[in-house]
Chain A
Amino acid sequence: MRVVIAEDLALLRDGLTRLLESNDCTVVAAVDNGHALISAIEEHRPDVSVVDVRLPPTFRDEGVRAALEARRRVPGTPVLVLSQYVERTYASELLSDGAGGVGYLLKDRVADPAEFVDAARRVAAGGTALDPEVVSQLLGGRGADSRLSELTPREREVLELIAEGRSNAAIGQALVISASAVEKHISNVFWKLDLPASNADHRRVLAVLAYLNG
């Protein structure tokens, strides 16, 4: 898997490079600002880009903006955004083009290299990898009037796992239910969220987006 890294702190840039390379990834470029990220993506067309939210010069949401711009120029290029904190707004902005291939994880997740690289692979494959923290933030601040309130607790759990980018098999494992039960829950979720019939991956992304936008 070919990866571009955008992280302004050398300490973490080097750490990420080392982590990815020792897990069978090739870091084709490691940059420290948003402009360089966009050019690196245009030049290398990586399988996935790992991007820090805060980059120079403003140290605000440069990373998110640069990722959005890169996805405008190279549609669907997968990005995995890392941050010290998570904001629902950023996650829904990143997913809003509906193309998938979006991850948004707390930096804490690098503590488990295998899991982290796995998330990067899911994003590279066009899936989503939203941090469980995003998901729990959403549950905390959700009003009762949203479409999501129609979901049963079990369906909601399934949706959370979809947001994290889990496959049907992984969801079945996590919730200890059969594959067919997972299928049933997922189609209920799609139906309740009123998602148009299309390929399964795309619907999953839309479901997550609906989830984020409440």
Chain B
Amino acid sequence: MMLIVTTLRHWLGRLGKDTLYLTTGLPMGILTFTVAVTGWSTGLGLLITLIGFPVLLVTALAIRGLSHVERARAELVRDEKLVARYKEPAKPGVWARVKSIFSDAQNWRDLGWALLLLPIGIAGFTIAVTAIGAVLGLVFAPAWTWALWDSADPPDLGLFHVTDIWTALAATAIGIAIAPLGLACVRGSAAASAALAGALLAPRTEELEERVEVLQATRAGAVDAAAAELERIERDLHDGAQARLVAIAMDLGLAQQKLDEDPEHARQLLAEARDGATAALVELRDLARGIRPALLAERGLAEAVRAFATRSPVPATVTADVGPERMPEPVESAAYFVVAEALANVAKHANARRATVSLVRRDDKLEVLVVDDGHGGANPDGGGLKGLRARVEALDGTLGVASPAGGPTMLRAELPCAS
């Protein structure tokens, strides 16, 4: 019983929206057709006098506005929203804006719909009114024939004359029987009309275009991030280990020179050279760790993050629920550096007492969450984070930072990790 009620309610709701869509289509069609035809014919006719041009422009903008209404109207029938996508002017200025309007294919598709909507509106209106009228007329035949009874002129329902109560009840039966057909007519016309609206008013390749744009942006970001990373490594080598080795070579050379005349000085230089070698080793090790931590390669994300957290100046607890299977190397690496950068920032800026790191792998997605109890106010586009975001986005992931003044700061990254 419940099921019947919900189904009935659903179909009545559907019918209401479809009917509303089809019946408003006619006045909208008249409006758009009038605007389009008068606007364009006036504009084109006056083009020679230069007034035509602004008329065309205003017409185009009016059609654009009406198309927005049409997109909203189509939502009565369509499940998904129609997204408008117009060309942006390439540069500021009136002329660029005008150019962007007239060179936009969407503009011309809008015009197409504005013209088509009149015949479609007429057809839709007719179908809706006829179908609903016929079904209601038949179903309620006993009632209205009784109210308007005139035996001299029995009502003519086309198929047959209602002559008595039995024919009236037969009309009701027929009405109930053809109700699904009427419903189907309304549904079909509304759906067809809205589908055509969708085809014309939404950019067909919109999703693909958007995806391409996103990919271009993230690819550029990834290339930038990689270049910046290489530059950092080269700089670190140049100023770090390479410089140390030069200094060691210098000390050793001097020590050799002094060996006979000033052995004490030579001994001191040798000690310095040894210290320098140790420092160079440390620097090289840190650099290698900054490129790819050994533990990450050998034991995977959870252990590498735990090990990193124990070195963090701000105590950090790590909870990891990532399963025994390893994730793709770039994902592990990106997740590791998200945590590393986040904890480094916590230590540097947040004035926090503790931090928590959580790694959760669910449904081929890895979520990385780093929360601290510091004073907040982190810049979500600060140097390190920008590079990280580029790295995460290159893997089709997302990186978000929430850091209200007063804290806490929460950094969350989500990485797809289908293995």
Which A positions have Cβ atoms within 8 angstroms of B? 9, 11-12, 15-16, 18-19, 22-23, 54, 59, 84, 107-108, 110-114, 116
Q: Indicate whether A22 sits within 8 Å of B250 (C-beta atoms), given known contacts A9-B243, A11-B244.
A: no
**Is A113 touching B253 in the complex (CB atoms < 8 A)?**
yes
**Is B238 touching A54 in the complex (CB atoms < 8 A)?**
yes
The dominant DSSP class at the B interface is helix
Residues of A within 8 A of B242 (CB): 84, 107
Contact of A18 (CB < 8 Å), options: B238, B243, B254: B254
In order of increasing CB-CB distance, the 6 nearest A-B pairs are A111-B249, A15-B250, A107-B246, A113-B253, A110-B250, A111-B253
24 contacts between A and B (CB under 8 A): A11-B243, A11-B247, A12-B243, A12-B246, A12-B250, A15-B247, A16-B250, A18-B250, A18-B254, A19-B250, A19-B253, A19-B254, A22-B254, A84-B238, A84-B242, A84-B246, A107-B246, A108-B246, A110-B249, A110-B253, A111-B250, A112-B253, A113-B254, A113-B257
A-contact bits for B68-89, CB 8 A (1 contact / 0 none):
0000000000000000000000
Residues of B within 8 A of A12 (CB): 243, 246-247, 250
Q: Which residue of A lies closest to B235 (CB)?
A: A59
Residues of A within 8 A of B257 (CB): 22-23, 113-114
Size bracket, chain B contacts: 10 to 19
Please measure, in the bound complex, the distance between the C-alpha atom of A111 and the C-alpha atom of B250, giving whole angstroms: 5
**From residue 224 to 252 of chain B, which have CB atoms closer than 8 A to chain A?**
235, 238-239, 242-244, 246-247, 249-252
Q: Which residue of B lies closest to A22 (CB)?
A: B254
Known: A12-B246, A18-B250, A113-B250. 19 other contacts (CB 8 A): A11-B244, A11-B247, A12-B247, A15-B246, A15-B250, A15-B251, A16-B250, A18-B254, A19-B250, A19-B254, A22-B258, A84-B238, A110-B249, A110-B253, A111-B250, A111-B253, A113-B253, A114-B257, A116-B253
**Is B235 touching A110 in the complex (CB atoms < 8 A)?**
no
Which B positions have Cβ atoms within 8 angstroms of A? 235, 238-239, 242-244, 246-247, 249-254, 257-258
Chain B min CB distance to A161 (Å): 22
Please measure, in the bound complex, the distance between the C-alpha atom of A73 and the C-alpha atom of B333, giving whole angstroms: 52
Residues of B within 8 A of A9 (CB): 239, 243
Please measure, in the bound complex, the distance between the C-alpha atom of A86 and the C-alpha atom of B381, giving whole angstroms: 37
Q: Which residue of A lies closest to B269 (CB)?
A: A18
Residues of A within 8 A of B239 (CB): 9
Please measure, in the bound complex, the distance between the C-alpha atom of A54 and the C-alpha atom of B247, giving whole angstroms: 16
Please measure, in the bound complex, the distance between the C-alpha atom of A22 and the C-alpha atom of B251, giving whole angstroms: 12
Q: Which residue of A lies closest to B255 (CB)?
A: A113
Chain A min CB distance to B62 (Å): 55
Please measure, in the bound complex, the distance between the C-alpha atom of A19 and the C-alpha atom of B255, giving whole angstroms: 10
Please measure, in the bound complex, the distance between the C-alpha atom of A114 and the C-alpha atom of B257, giving whole angstroms: 8
Residues of B within 8 A of A84 (CB): 238, 242, 246
Residues of A within 8 A of B238 (CB): 54, 84
Residues of B within 8 A of A116 (CB): 253
Chain A min CB distance to B67 (Å): 52
Please measure, in the bound complex, the distance between the C-alpha atom of A84 and the C-alpha atom of B235, giving whole angstroms: 12
Residues of B within 8 A of A19 (CB): 250, 253-254
Please measure, in the bound complex, the distance between the C-alpha atom of A19 and the C-alpha atom of B247, giving whole angstroms: 10
Residues of A within 8 A of B247 (CB): 11-12, 15
Chain A min CB distance to B301 (Å): 34
Q: Which residue of B lies closest to A107 (CB)?
A: B246
Chain A min CB distance to B337 (Å): 24
Residues of B within 8 A of A114 (CB): 257
